[in-house]
Chain A
Amino acid sequence: MCLSIPSIITQIDVDNIATVDSMGVRRQVSLDLMDQAVTIGDYVLIHVGFAMTKLDEADALASLELYQQIIDEMDAELAEASSAESTLENEQGG
């Protein structure tokens, strides 16, 4: 019910309406609830035919970079664990 769809503004139409692309689906949405100005190329959240807020691209990018860092740390930890294991095995074997 409260789901909203990330979309990109592709055209500003008349009467405070914009055309957006939501992963291949084109639709027209009202900008009546927007409290920030929007332009073509902005990312917005769409809910029942209205744009409700801009999505902060820099913020999303920072999150994705943080996640990559967390993945890298996990990979490093797993690699360390497996190398410790193989060292142990070698020692036991030797």
Chain B
Amino acid sequence: MNLSLKDFYQGFRDPQTIKALALQIEQAAQQLDATPETPLKIMEVCGGHTHTIMKYGLGQILPNNIEFIHGPGCPVCIMPKERIDHAIVLAKMDNTILLTLGDMIRVPGSKSSLAKTRAAGADIRALYTPLDAIKIAQENPDKQVIFFAIGFETTTPMTAAVIKQAIALKLNNLFFHINHVLVPPAVVAIMQDDRCQIDALIGPSHVSVVSGAKIYLPLAEQFQVPIVVSGFEPVDVMQSILKIIQQVVAKKHQVEIQYSRAVSLEGNITAQQLIATYLEPRSHFRWRGLGDIPLSGLGLKAAYTALDAEKVFADQLSNEPIDDHKLCICGDILRGLAKPKDCKVFGRGCDPTRPLGSCMVSSEGACHAYYKYAEVALPSSSQSVDGS
């Protein structure tokens, strides 16, 4: 039998399969030591998984001795305000076109957002693909074109591919402001926190397509937790939870690949080599909500300083840290110490149109997902999101 394209979607969203896996999870979870008071805490690292869990209400069909901790894996959410301010300052320069991916446009910096700056007249464009940066730079030889690059390991090789083309074409008007971040250092920062009690991890889908599941081997060893690399569909997530429970019951802490139709242990070597050619880890990178994390972000190598917007326009840019509102508890939410509904400003002063903190910024952030899927996520006994 051959598959059709439809099977890659529907096969992994099938309600009967979700139900059958829920039954298996329920049976397996009876063998856990975890109780509703001290549940097994599973952190889904990636915002895409948070979105799936909320959208399909997976938390509601799991036994009550299992709890999700919503991790830091949303590259837009973790961007500190001072770097969003960079994008705005750069976009306001004369004779400049600022390019970025769509997710970034609405996110507020300290005073404004790219959307508002665009409305005020700046030339800011959301790209479908980073490759369009080449075309825009070629079509506008008299302007400086700056690509504000964002994303985890998933999106990094695409930026590297564009850098390669820009160099090959000898474009001298295309610059790169690199904000690519890495999953493992952020997970280490969370797991090392003494207050954190995460028992297992659901590993990201497409970060792992690029980097390979090998990047989690040191984490499983260091923190003695099972890590299951999962696809983004609800069936994938349910099967991954079952695999995690089976490991916990068997007292194992291995890296397993549930998403084996796309992920290998080694990952995409071509993509990894392309990244390593042009980019290298920064000594540290500040994450919104989590603070400074060593070796967690990438920057252009010194050989490519002439393309590096942070260096070329350094006199315009401030690196003074700008923190979130003091009532915001996103840092605790990202560490699994609090849930969105524990926050005093959730839905009352902080909502997707006026986000105060990182988790409300994009639909992959925990607060945004809770807000959007409130009826699924919050049982009727809980407060409504508008505080009424």
Interface residues of A (CB under 8 A from B): 1-4, 6-8, 21-23, 30, 32-35, 43, 45, 47-50, 52-53, 55-57, 59-61, 63-64, 67, 70-71, 73-74, 77
Assess the B158–A50 pair: CB atoms within 8 A: yes
| B152 interface contact, C-beta 8 A | yes
Q: Decide: A60 near B151, CB < 8 A? Known: A55-B262, A70-B21.
A: no
Assess the A70–B17 pair: CB atoms within 8 A: yes
Assess the A52–B271 pair: CB atoms within 8 A: yes
Give the distance in Å from the alpha carbon of A43 to the alpha carbon of B16 in the complex.
Answer: 25
User: Using an 8 Å CB-CB cutoff, how does the interface string of B38-53 with A read, 1 for contact, 0 for none?
Assistant: 0000000011100000
Query: B152 contacts which of A2, A4, A6 (Cβ < 8 Å)?
Result: A2
Assess the A1–B260 pair: CB atoms within 8 A: no
Q: Decide: A71 near B17, CB < 8 A? Known: A61-B1, A61-B3.
A: yes
Total residue contacts A-B, CB cutoff 8 A: 143
Query: A33 contacts which of B152, B207, B271 (Cβ < 8 Å)?
Result: B271
Give the distance in Å from the alpha carbon of A34 to the alpha carbon of B204 in the complex.
Answer: 20
Assess the A23–B262 pair: CB atoms within 8 A: no
Assess the B101–A48 pair: CB atoms within 8 A: yes
* Count of B interface residues, CB-CB < 8 Å: 60
Q: Decide: A57 near B2, CB < 8 A? Known: A45-B209, A64-B11.
A: yes
Max count, chain B CB within 10 A of own CB: residue among A1, A53, A61, A73: A1
CB-defined contacts of A35 to chain B, threshold 8 Å: 268-271
Interface residues of B (CB under 8 A from A): 1-3, 5-9, 11-12, 14, 16-17, 19-21, 23-24, 46-48, 73-76, 101, 103, 127-132, 150-152, 154-155, 157-158, 161, 204-207, 209-210, 232, 235, 239, 260-262, 268-271, 274, 362, 364
Query: A71 contacts which of B20, B76, B103, B151 (Cβ < 8 Å)?
Result: B20
Assess the A1–B151 pair: CB atoms within 8 A: yes
Query: B262 contacts which of A1, A32, A50, A56 (Cβ < 8 Å)?
Result: A56
Assess the A23–B6 pair: CB atoms within 8 A: yes
A-B contact pairs, 20 of them (CB 8 A): A1-B101, A2-B46, A2-B47, A2-B73, A2-B205, A3-B206, A6-B8, A22-B5, A33-B161, A47-B155, A52-B209, A52-B268, A53-B268, A55-B262, A59-B260, A64-B11, A70-B21, A71-B16, A74-B20, A74-B23
Q: Name which residue of chain B comes closest to A35, CB basis.
A: B270
CB-defined contacts of B210 to chain A, threshold 8 Å: 52
Instruction: State the Cβ distance, B177 to closest chain A Cβ, in Å.
Output: 17
Query: B129 contacts which of A8, A48, A53, A71 (Cβ < 8 Å)?
Result: A48
Give the distance in Å from the alpha carbon of A58 to the alpha carbon of B250 in the complex.
Answer: 29
Q: Name which residue of chain B comes closest to A61, CB basis.
A: B3
Give the distance in Å from the alpha carbon of A33 to the alpha carbon of B48 in the complex.
Answer: 22
Q: Name which residue of chain B comes closest to A3, CB basis.
A: B48
Query: A6 contacts which of B5, B129, B157, B235 (Cβ < 8 Å)?
Result: B5
